[in-house]
Amino acid sequence: MGREENHCYGLKLITVSRKWFHLLLLLSILVTVQAFDYKDALTKSLFYFESQRSGRLPYNQRVTWRDHSGLTDGLEQGVDLVGGYYDAGDHVKFGLPMAFTVTMLSWGVIEYGEQIAAAGELKHALEAIKWGTDYFIKAHTNPNVLWAEVGDGDTDHYCWQRPEDMTTSRQAYKINENNPGSDLAGETAAAMAAASIVFKQSNPHYSHLLLHHAQELFEFGDKFRGKYDTSIGVVKSYYASVSGYMDELLWAALWLYKATDREDYLKYVINNANGFGGIGWAITEFSWDVKYAGVQILASKFLMDGKNMEHSDILEQYRSKAEYYLCACLNKNNESNVDRSPGGLLYVRQWNNMQYVSTAAFLLTIYSDYLKSANQKLHCKEGIVDAQEMLIFAKSQVDYILGSNPMSTSYLVGFGSKYPKRVHHRGASVVSYKECKGFIGCTQGYDNWYGSKDPNPNVLVGALVGGPDNQDDFTDDRGNYMQTEACTYNTAPLVGVFAKFHQVEAENLSQLQSLVTSY
């Protein structure tokens, strides 16, 4: 073989070697992108809402360790308040967090309904929403009356027993003209308006009914203004409305505008932008209490769609505040950033911090989509961020939740090989009613189960617990309620996000498989 032939042969070897190198690289990426099963996380997240159901459970109930409970709720007041959700590990039905839960579930379906359907979970997502809205319809007994709460935290926390055995007070509390609650009326209106969009195609009659209730509730909340925790004192220690009611009224008006396309709702948001703090408050959290970031992002979407340009000056100010929140989460807002743990988790406060992580992941994810659709970028004080960078950061928070963290723990219960086994939850921590129908008294649960070091007998699948502290440390102890209690509004924002990332991973996988095939 001549020198020239040897040289060509060497080039062929190098070319083949490079091909194999690229192939191995692609395969390694393929393994990496499959690190988490987002479809499984989505499925499990929807299980959780069945664990939290109050009332008479349906024939297709999948969480079999639960049974009927709260079947006399409202009886003393002469109203049917059976149904709805327990918000966390106790058995009070708190209206404000329940409504926010339903709003976020609905928003997730509005943004990612196709992805949820592709994962085979749309039916369960709609059931989760409807379980809440059916209850809100019952609770809204008069245009200017909304039942706000069933039970009270003080007597409920005295006991540790299953919901099926409840002996605690089921006193019901309402808001009306004389005892207003604009925050609660506004959030419930937002939930029903958002849900009316969800059901518009599949169940138009139900959608129309929800919209009717939403409009009445908004009018009630706006006409008779006041904080619901002033009218209902028993809620102050548990779900006090620290932000007041103005953010909820803006929030409700925006959802009603989105549901109806009626100009008067948008004008409400424009005319009250300054007086209600919509363009005045730059906030670094989004939660069941503080809606400003959600309001500002919804308003930004209307601007980015190229609609309502006659209001562009005000909408631009809403957008500026929305991007303040987003830039703070991305650590690009100079000194006004959201803190992070050493492991990279957004950290707002000690108590149930994961609620702020899941809402941030949701807002970052949808805003990434908004930017991509509009071919725009986010302008922060410390640089420009494109849609992909924003999505990557949102994914880092979701992956932290699912186990990519210093504790190598999934904070979504039941997901992965290591997750909290001693969740602070009465029903999950006591032997199932299906297994032991004998009555368990008020304090009996404390005696036999609360202090036990054993794992809970029932796995609270899909619950997002409060999570680790600011140093990424987590103690799996039933008494450590700041970290081990889960809430419906923690998991609700993740439903849409899990569906989105399942789609992204499926697309990545398809692209990689095409590249591998080309070799």
Residues annotated as catalytic are 424
Bridge partners of residue 85, in order along the sequence = 53
CA angle 513, 514, 516 (to 5 degrees): 60
**What is the torsional sign of CA 326, 328, 330, 332?**
positive
The C-alpha atoms of residue 173 and residue 160 are separated, in whole angstroms, by 23
Of 84, 79, 116, nearest in space to 97 by CA: 84
Q: In whole angstroms, what is the distance from residue 141 CA to residue 144 CA?
A: 8
Instruction: Write b or e for each residue in 384-423: b if 16 or more Cβ atoms lie within 10 A of its Cβ, otherwise e.
Output: ebebebbbebbbbbbbbbbbbbbbebbbbbbbbeebbebb
User: 424 with 55: CB under 8 angstroms?
Assistant: no
Q: At what angle do helices 3-33 and 488-518 cross, to 10 degrees?
A: 160
Contact at 8 Å (CB) between 103 and 183? no
Residue 195 contacts residue 210 (beta carbons within 8 Å):
yes
For residue 346, the surrounding DSSP H or E stretch is strand 346-347
The C-alpha R_g of the chain, in whole angstroms, comes to 25
- Give the separation between CA 408 and CA 62, rounded to whole angstroms: 29
Contact 296, 318 (CB under 8 A): yes
* 501 Cβ contact partners less than 8 Å away, ≥ 6 residues apart: 38, 395, 398
The phi and psi torsions of 447 (rounded to 5 degrees) equal -65, -40
Amino acid at 284: T
Cβ neighbours of residue 448 closer than 8 Å, sequence gap 6 or more = 430, 440
Cβ neighbours of residue 509 closer than 8 Å, sequence gap 6 or more = 30, 33, 34
Q: Residue 100 in contact with residue 134, Cβ under 8 Å? A: no
CA distance 380 to 329: 11
